[in-house]
Amino acid sequence: MASDRPNRGVPEGLWIRCSHCKATVYKKEVEARHHVCPECDHHFTMPARDRIAQLLDEGTFEEWHADLRPCDPLGFMDRIAYSQRLVEEQQKTGMVDAAVIGKGFIRGREVVLGITDFAFMAGSMGSVVGEKLTRAAESATELKLPLIFVSGSGGGARMQEGILSLMQMAKVSAALARYDSAGGLYISILTNPTMGGVAASWALQGDITLAEPGAMIGFAGKRTIWNTVRLELPEGFQTSEFLLKHGFIDRVVQRRDLRTEVARIVDYCSRL
**pLDDT tens track for 54-85:** 999 999 999 999 999 999 999 999 999 999 99
Over residues 97-120, the mean pLDDT reads: 97
Q: How confident is the model at residue 7 (pLDDT cuts 50, 70, 90)?
A: low
Specify the CATH number for 45-270; select among 3.90.226.10, 1.10.10.10, 3.40.50.2300, 3.30.450.370. Answer: 3.90.226.10
By C-alpha distance, which of 184, 56, 156 is closest to 98?
156
pTM over 0.95: no
Contact between 62 and 102 under an 8 Å Cβ cutoff? The reply is yes
pLDDT tens, residue by residue, 138-172: 999 999 999 999 999 887 899 999 999 999 999 99
**CA–CA distance, 27 with 41 (Å, rounded to integer):** 14
Q: Is 6's pLDDT higher than 70?
A: no
Q: DSSP per residue over 130-190, as a string?
A: HHHHHHHHHHHHHHT--EEEEE--SS-B-GGGHHHHHHHHHHHHHHHHHHHHTT--EEEEE
Mean pLDDT, the chain, integer: 91
CATH 3.90.226.10 positions along the chain are 45-270
